[in-house]
Amino acid sequence: MAELSPGRRRRPQRPLSPHIQIYTPLINMVVSILHRITGAALYLGTLLLAWWLIAAATGPDYFNYVSGIFGSLPGRLVLAGYTWALLHHMLGGLRHFLWDLGFGYDLKTIDQLSWGSILLSLVSTAVVWACVSLKAGGV
């Protein structure tokens, strides 16, 4: 602990800066938070990719076992969430590239980009899973 100067035995009671619960949730704030959350989720989700690759490299028996887990209802729910997180984070990244390049800073465009990335991430996730269902012959 740093020594307090004479006459300042206690830290002065300064007001704390308001935290997120104080603000009205605006859509750009929501997608910004989602960008971080999906990023952290994808971080852990790489374990699924590593597991899948290891299963394929191990042999047919273990691969079938792991495929069974991924193909189960809870497995598919996790993978659907993983797909959405990946696509949402990807679209968020593209939105940030746009801002990095100096475009899209007026409030209307920010709102449109924010809603757009939510909408597009949901639609593209649905499209991917529709393709998977058709490919795998029914969910």
Partner 1 sequence: MQMRTPLKTARNLGSAKEGADHFWKQRVTGVANAMLGLFFVWLVASLAGADHATVKKSISNPIHAIALLALIVSGTIHMRLGMQTIIEDYVRSDGAKIVLLMLNTFFAMTVALISIFAILKLSFGA
**Closest CB 87 distance from partner 1, rounded Å:** 8
Neighbours of 78 (CB within 10 A): 15
DSSP state letter for 5: P
Q: How near is the Cβ of 108 to partner 1 at its closest, in Å?
A: 25
**How far apart, in whole angstroms, are the C-alpha atoms of residue 99 and residue 110?**
9
Least distance in angstroms from the C-beta of 124 to partner 1: 9
Pick the closest to residue 52 from 85, 77, 79 (CA basis). 79
In the complex, the residues that contact partner 1 under the rule CB under 8 A are 36, 39-40, 42-43, 46-47, 49-50, 53-54, 56-57, 59-60, 63-64, 71, 83, 86-87, 90, 93-94, 96-97, 100, 128, 131-132, 135-137
